[in-house]
Structure 1
């Protein structure tokens, strides 16, 4: 594993904190960032569209709310970036098939190259990739970290080998394995306890065996280095932090990882309470939707209200749109093909609106009958604000 000077690591963290401070003063429920293009795109993602992104720091870039189209798939050029640590050097993707991942907790543990994994099978899954902090900027209490609104999410196609195929090829699981624990290959800072900074996450083994893949392809291309290439764990229906980048170790373990990012990090807890292993972990995503267009003035007549919606851990059932701040609702039309349980669906409502100002929002319902919440209760780290009321936008029809 590559190491980097501790000074560089702390500078990266300071950049994240600075961006959070500058955006924290913005009122909850805003639709767009006021500080767009305040910073240039980080070098690692200089190829992204600067007009469709908001730079929070060298490790965090948000998608503009109206940059999500109606095709259903998010282009890498507008996809958000959220990295906990700097990416490995470019040598990691110089020969992608040579990247190695060790597999432990199976009858025949061994280290496999990406090239070997490609001979074990392949599947493609469409799934929402969403940062745990998406919507943090809508909470009223002060939170550390990037003040995301709606732009820390995307819908992508991932291709790779199912984890169950790898386990079967290596003789099956050892007894008593309750979790799949994945370790990322990011550069670690010098002079810091690795367990305090390493990206290492555990998910329930039954779920991983059914749904998880080791992906080398994103939207039909090699996974970009900034987004976890050459190999990334994909756990459909789970928050982004569980989709470990640059994965170099997959261990089937009795217990959850004791790394700080698992032990105390990404835990849902009351404001002011420290993280602890007995608190809910950021695993299964919630049902959620938001309007992406229009966000400003529009001409009167038929107005196309567009957005995206997903069922979280379960499939999406329907989306409703309100133009009067939730007083009444109309069912929207889902667009494009159904890409499966874990994908989002674009939606549209054709509304005939007279001149005036309208508070427009949406709410989704999944296949289990769970309706998107109106308000998200505060939690210490500001994880996944999903309440439809503050996700609303004010639209003036002229």
Structure 2
């Protein structure tokens, strides 16, 4: 067999669990600005739902004057927009918390991004005419089951405050990267909430309910809540906006490098504003240098790609860190805020390499 006959290795999802299916994106090997759907991370609480797209309807009811049922075709004929959005599981990087926390032990691959096309949720809601006492919009998914620590059987459901639900970039999406959303990522309709952790972007939408009171479903009031103390639930707060964060894609953690010049590269993202600065340290935080951010990546809701040329002529072991700062002056801390369920990890990213 000649060298040309050897099969070319391809990146693949990293399995965390199969039932339900939870798999990480191989983020270190993502070179493009959008993630092809076979490598888009998968996060599920339950088994995949069974539903037919041939007879699909989306009802909107609750604190509205004109309850309405939309057909999929009707939704697809409404004014649409396409938005590049990064979706990050709120448990991304959970395994790095110290002390350790229970839950799916995600590494740095519970994050992906691409181009979502859909109808602004506000267009659908405006057709139903909100009542004066409307407060929140609940989006219910078709996926359901039992979840550890929660009594009973529940559909996955989340609510948005009216202001966020009516934001022009909160959309009911039906396409991903110019194709129908793949079934495992929410086909035929998925809510996309830019800037918020991905638990808000409900998949397989079953119905939308406008409510005049605060929603207290288990995935709103028990799960996806920051509990800052180990032995009490005091000072709890809901998980909403993504923290500023970054990931080093190359070199890889534990890699052995030849002495010379090397490109350190990665991605950075935030739920508020835009990434303004990315700093790299090659001496475990003693000194920092600014990395270059790709010019066309500053706008929108996607991550930015960054790179830094490192001159590594001295042999030895090195700890490399990356730290992002956004336009709201939020920076990654050296250590993240610990919480019981391990949400929102955003400590400076860290890898170790050896130069020989």
Q: Give the alignment's TM-score, normalised by structure 2.
A: 0.89
Following superposition, the deviation at residue 193 of structure 1 comes to 9.1
Could you tell me which residue of structure 1 aligns to residue 24 of structure 2? 62
Following superposition, the deviation at residue 343 of structure 1 comes to 1.1
For structure 1, the residue ranges without an aligned partner over 5 or more in a row are 1-48
Following superposition, the deviation at residue 365 of structure 1 comes to 0.8
The equivalences for 1:1-398 within 5 A come to 51-58=11-18, 59-69=21-31, 71-89=32-50, 91-93=51-53, 95=54, 98-104=55-61, 105-170=63-128, 172-188=129-145, 197-210=154-167, 211-273=169-231, 279-295=236-252, 296-335=255-294, 337-338=296-297, 340-354=299-313, 355-388=315-348, 391-398=349-356
Report the count of equivalent residues: 340
**Is this contact kept in 1: 2:144–2:156, CA < 8 A?**
no
**Is this contact kept in 1: 2:279–2:290, CA < 8 A?**
yes
Shift in CA distance, 197/378, structure 1 to aligned 2, threshold 3 Å: same
Distance in 2, Cα, partners of 1:383 & 1:135: 9
What SS does structure 1 have at the residue aligned with 2:301?
A: coil
**Is this contact kept in 1: 2:144–2:154, CA < 8 A?**
no
Distance in 2, Cα, partners of 1:215 & 1:266: 23
What SS does structure 2 have at the residue aligned with 1:81?
A: coil
**Is this contact kept in 1: 2:171–2:192, CA < 8 A?**
yes
Distance in 2, Cα, partners of 1:269 & 1:155: 28
**Is this contact kept in 1: 2:241–2:272, CA < 8 A?**
yes
Distance in 1, Cα, partners of 2:300 & 2:325: 13
Following superposition, the deviation at residue 132 of structure 1 comes to 1.0
Following superposition, the deviation at residue 327 of structure 1 comes to 1.3
Distance in 2, Cα, partners of 1:319 & 1:365: 6
- Write the deviation string for residues 235-259 of structure 1: whole angstroms up to 9, x where unpaired: 1001111100101111221223232
Following superposition, the deviation at residue 385 of structure 1 comes to 1.2
Structure with the larger helix share: 1
Following superposition, the deviation at residue 51 of structure 1 comes to 3.7
What SS does structure 1 have at the residue aligned with 2:219?
A: helix
Distance in 1, Cα, partners of 2:152 & 2:206: 15
**Is this contact kept in 1: 2:80–2:117, CA < 8 A?**
yes
Distance in 2, Cα, partners of 1:199 & 1:275: 23
What SS does structure 2 have at the residue aligned with 1:160?
A: strand
Following superposition, the deviation at residue 316 of structure 1 comes to 1.5
Distance in 2, Cα, partners of 1:367 & 1:196: 42
What SS does structure 2 have at the residue aligned with 1:337?
A: helix
**Is this contact kept in 2: 1:158–1:219, CA < 8 A?**
yes
What SS does structure 2 have at the residue aligned with 1:77?
A: helix
Shift in CA distance, 267/187, structure 1 to aligned 2, threshold 3 Å: closer
Distance in 2, Cα, partners of 1:50 & 1:256: 46
Structure with the larger strand share: 2
Q: Give the alignment's TM-score, normalised by structure 1.
A: 0.80
Distance in 1, Cα, partners of 2:114 & 2:67: 31
What SS does structure 2 have at the residue aligned with 1:302?
A: strand
**Is this contact kept in 2: 1:132–1:384, CA < 8 A?**
yes
**Is this contact kept in 2: 1:131–1:153, CA < 8 A?**
yes
